Amino acid sequence: MFDGPFDVFALIIAIIAFLIAIKASNQAAELRRRLSSLEEMVYAQRRVQPPPLMPAPVQAEAPATTPAEPPPLAPEAEAPPPLVTEEAAPPPLEAGTGADAPPPLPAPAPALDIREPGFEERLGTRWVVWIGGLALALGGFFMVRYSIEAGLVGPGVRVFLGGLFAAALLGAGEWSRRKESISNIAALPIANIPAILTAAGTAVAFATIYAAYALYGFLVPATAFVLLGLVALGTLAAALLHGPALAGLGVVGAFVTPLLVSSGKPDYWALYVYLAIVTAASFGLARIRLWRWLAVTTIAFAVLWIFPGLDTSDVQVAPHAFHAIAGFVLAALLVVCGFMFGPSIEDGEIEPVSSSSLGAYLFGAMLIVLSSAHADLALIAFTLLVGATLFVAWRAPAATGALGAAAATVFIVFAEWAVRANPDMLVLPGGPLPGIGPVATDSSVTLHLVMAAIFAAGFGMAGFFAQGRSNSAIIPVVWSAAGVATPIAILVALYARIAHLDRSIPFAILAVLLAAAFGAATEALARREDRPGAATSVALFATGTLGALALALTFALEKGWLTIALALMSLGTAWISLQRPIPVLRRLAAIFAAIVTARIVYDPRIVGDAVGTTPIFNWLLWGYGLPAASFWGASIFLRRHADDAPLRVVEAAAILFTALLAFMEIRHFATGGQMTSAPSLLECALQVCVAFAMAIGLERLRLRSRSIVHNVGAVVLTAIGGLISVFGLLILENPLLWHIDVGGAVFNLLLLGYALPAVLMLLLSYAVVGERGKAYANTIAGGALVFALAYVTLEIRRFYHGPILSSGETTGAEQYTYSIGWLAFGVVLLGVGILVNSERARLASAAVIALTILKAFVIDMSTLTGVYRALSFMCLGVVLVAIGWLYQRILFRRQAPPPAPQTGS
C-alpha cells in the first residue's frame, strides 16, 4: 500500500515514463535508420565529379543551333536529347577565354524533408525526455524520503547522498553535452537531454542544501545562503552551454533563495549585495545570449525585492537605496541598447526593454521615498537616479522612453509630498507679505526646493538642447514633452504644498518666468532649420508657454480663475495655430476645452458657495462667460484652416458654456442666489425662452458655417426647450394646476411663460422651413399654437380669478368668455393667413375654430344657461358663416364660365 497521494503520483509517473521509453526505443531505431540513409545519400553526392571542360577548338566547332549539354546528375544518368532552337547562338568563345572559364557547379543535393513533427514524434523525441528529467528529480526526492521513513541512513548520510546524486546528474549532463558536441551528425529538433539532466541536478542540489539547513540544522543561515546562491549562479553559468530553460531555472532559484533561508532579524545589506551579484550574472547572461525575456524576468524579480521592509515604520533606507542604484547601474551597463556594453540598435529607435529597465528601478526608488516619508537619503538617491536617467537617455536614444517614467515619478513624489499635510514642515507667514503663503524653513522642505530647481532646470534644458540631435521624429518630441510637462508639474505641486492653493504672488512670478523661458525656447526652435520632430516640439514649448501663463493667472487670482485661465489657453493655442500651422496645436486647443468642461462637471458653480448674490454680474458671468467667449474665438481661428475634430470639440464647448451661462444665470436670478432651491414658473419660462432663442441663432449660424456641431446644437437646444415647455410650463409649474402667483393683469408671468415662448416657437418654425424635415417644422409650429392658445386661456382665467388661477369656481360668463376668446383668436389667425398668404396660419385657425366648436357642443351646451348659451352659439354661427364667405369670395373664388357663342339659324 502507498503512504499518500505523492507516492501514487510517483508510481504513475514511473509507469508512464517506462511505457514511453519503450516507445522511444522504437522511435530511436527508426531515426537511426533514416540517418544512415541520409548519410549514404550525402556520401554519394560527394563522389560525383564535374565533367571535364571542352577544349576551345571543340567549342568553336560545336553547331550553332545546339546548346551545351548540362553535366549528368549521376554516372548512371543519360544526357537528355539536345534542344533545337530557331534562334542564333552567341558567337563562340575565344580560345583564351574558354580556358579561363570556371568549372560548372555540381548539381545540388536533394532537399531534406523538412516538415512539422507530428504528435508521435513530439512524444518520442521531446516529451519523454522532459518527463524523464522530472522523474530523475523526483527520484532523488523520493530516495531521500524513503531513507528517512525506513531509517536506513542518518541525516548526514542522506544529505551526502543527495549531494552525490546532484553531482552525478550534473556530470551526466556535461558528459552528454560533450558527446553531442563531438558527434558529426546534425542535431535533430528533439529535447535537449544535457539541459534536462543539468536542470534536474541543480534542482536536487537546491533541495539538498535547503534540507541540510532547514530540516537538520547542519548549516547556519549564512552558509546556506551562500551555497544556494552559488548553485543559482552556477545554474546561470551552465545556461551558457545548455540553453534558456536552464537560465530560467537559475534566475528563479537565485531570486527565491532568500525566501528559503530566512532569519528573525533580516540583514538587508547581505540580501541586496547577493541580489546585486545575481542581477549582474543574469544581465550578463542575457547580454551574451541576447535573451530579452531573461532581462525582463530579472528586472521583475529585482523590483519585487524592493518591497520587503517598506511597510515598517523604520525603513532601512540605505540598503534599499543601494539595491535600486545597483540594479539601475547594471541595467544601464548591460541592458540598455547602444550604451556602454548593451546590445546594438539602429539609431533613432526607442527600445522598450531598455526604457522599461530604467523606469522599473526609478519606480523602486520612488517607492523608497514615499515609504520613508521623504527621508533625505532616499531623496538624494532618487535625484541621482533621475539625473542618471537623463544622462543615459541623452547618450542612448534607445532609453528615451524612460524619460516618461522619470517625469511621472518626479511628479508623484512632489504630489505626494504636497498632499501629505504635515504642518510641522511649514511655518506660517510672518513677514511683510502676509497671506501669500507659508515660508519654507524646514530642512526637508529646503531639500525639496533644491530638488525641484534641479529637476525643472534639468528636464527643461535637456528638452531644449536635445532638439536636432536625432534623425528620428519621436526622440525630440519625447524630450520636449518631458522638458515642458515636468517643470509645470513641479510648480503646481510646490504651489499646492507651500501656498495651499491660495493666492500667491511669488508663485505667480515664478510661473511668468517659466512662461518667458518656454516662449524664448519656442522662438529659438522656430528659427532653426526643419528637422524631424521639430514642428511638434515647437508646438509643445508654445503650449508650455500658454500653460505657465494660465498658472500665473491662477496663482495671482482666486480659485475660479483656473477655469478661465484654461479656457484662455485654448484661445491662445488656437491663435498660435494661425501663426504657426502645426497640427498638434489644434488638438491641444481641443484638449484644453475638454479639461475646462470636465472642471465644471466637478463643480458647476465654479467657485462653490462664493458665487455672489448680484444678478447677472456674479462669478457665473466670469466663470462661464469668459470661457464661452474664449471658445467662440478659438472656433473662429480654427475654422480658418479646416473643419476637423478639434474644431468640433471647441465649437461644442462654446455652445455648452453659452447655454450653461444662460441657464445658470437664470437659476441664480430666479432663486435669489440659492442655487439648490426648487425650480419655479419664472425659471422655467426664462429657460424656455433662452433655449428657443439660442436655437434660432444656431439655425441661422449653421446655414453659413455648415457645421455639424451647430446643426446638432440647434436640435439639442430645441429638444431641451420643448421638454421644459411640456413638463415645466404645462405640468409641473402650470398656474392652473398649482398655487402660483402669476402677477399683474397684463405684464405678468403668463406673458413671459406662454406668450413669448409661443412667439419664439413660431420664429423657430419659420427658421427651419425648407432646411429640415416638414414634420420637424410643423411640430414646432404646433407647439407655438398650443402655447398661444394656453396664453389666451390663462389670461381670461387671470381676469376672473386674479393672480391665483387655481382657486375659485368657473362661472357661466367665464365659460362664455373662453369661447369668445378662442373664436377671436381663430379669426385673427385666419386674417393673418389671408394677409400673408400663409397656409399654416389658416390651418392653425381651422384647428382653433374646430376646438371652439367642440367646446360649444360638449361644454357650453351642458354648463351654460340662459343668455350665455344663446350668445355662445349665435356668435359661433356668425363667425362660421363669415369664415365660409371669406373662403368662397377671397381664397377660393370661382370664375363664372363664359357664355356660349350664338349660332345663326
What is each CA distance from 649 to 546, 576, 595, in whole angstroms?
Answer: 19, 18, 11
The torsion angles phi and psi of 11, rounded to 5 degrees, stand at -65, -45
* Residue 599 confidence (pLDDT): 82
With 0-12 / 13-18 / 19 or more C-beta atoms within 10 angstroms meaning exposed / middle / buried, residue 390 is buried
What is the model's pLDDT at position 758? 96
Quote the pLDDT of residue 270.
Answer: 75
- Residue 743: strand, helix, or coil: strand
Half-sphere exposure of 699 (CA within 13 A, CB side): 23
Three-state secondary structure call for residue 390: helix
What residue has cell string 410643423?
A: 778
Instruction: With CA atoms as reference, report the closest residue to 256 among 276, 277, 229.
Output: 229
Strands (E), 49-148: none
Q: What is the 3-state secondary structure (H, E, C) of 296-315?
A: HHHHHHHHHCCCCCCCCCCC
* Residue 60 pLDDT: 42
Q: Are 515 and 550 in contact (CB under 8 A)?
A: no
Nearest to 482 by CA among 606, 390, 419: 390
Q: What angle in degrees, to the nearest 10, is found between the helix axes of 443-465 and 376-395?
A: 0
What CA–CA distance (Å, rounded) separates 290 from 299? 15
* pLDDT at residue number 368: 93
Output the pLDDT for position 815. 87
Q: What angle do CA 166, 167, 171 make, to 5 degrees?
A: 120
The set of cell numbers assigned to 686 is: 426664462
**Contacts (Cβ under 8 Å, ≥6 apart) of 800:** 808, 811, 813, 814, 817
Is the whole-model pTM more than 0.85?
no
Report how far residue 575's alpha carbon sits from residue 412's, in angstroms, rounded to the nearest whole number.
Answer: 33
- In a 13 Å sphere around the CA of 560, the CA atoms on its Cβ side amount to 20
Identify the three-state secondary structure at position 615.
coil
Which amino acid is present at 381? A
Three-state helix/strand/coil letters over 806-838: CCCCCCHHHHHHHHHHHHHHHHHHHHHHHHCCC
**pLDDT score recorded for residue 316:** 84
pLDDT at 427: 40
- The Cα–Cα gap between 173 and 165 comes to 12
Closest CA to 628 of 661, 603, 602, 605: 661
**Cβ atoms of residues 498 and 440 within 8 Å:** yes
- In angstroms, the CA 261 to CA 36 distance is 53
- Mean pLDDT, consecutive 10-residue segments, the chain of 905 residues? 41 45 52 68 59 44 42 40 42 42 47 49 48 54 55 60 64 60 40 57 62 64 67 64 61 68 68 79 82 88 88 80 94 92 84 94 94 90 95 93 94 88 41 40 73 94 90 90 94 87 87 93 86 84 84 78 82 84 81 88 76 85 92 94 92 96 93 86 96 96 94 96 95 93 91 96 94 93 95 94 90 87 89 85 87 79 67 68 62 52 51
State how far the alpha carbon of 895 is from the alpha carbons of 67, 69, 881, 889, 899, in Å: 107, 110, 21, 10, 12
Closest residue by Cα to residue 868 from 829, 826, 793, 816? 816
Q: Are 161 and 143 in contact (CB under 8 A)?
A: yes
Residue 603: all three cell numbers together: 463643480
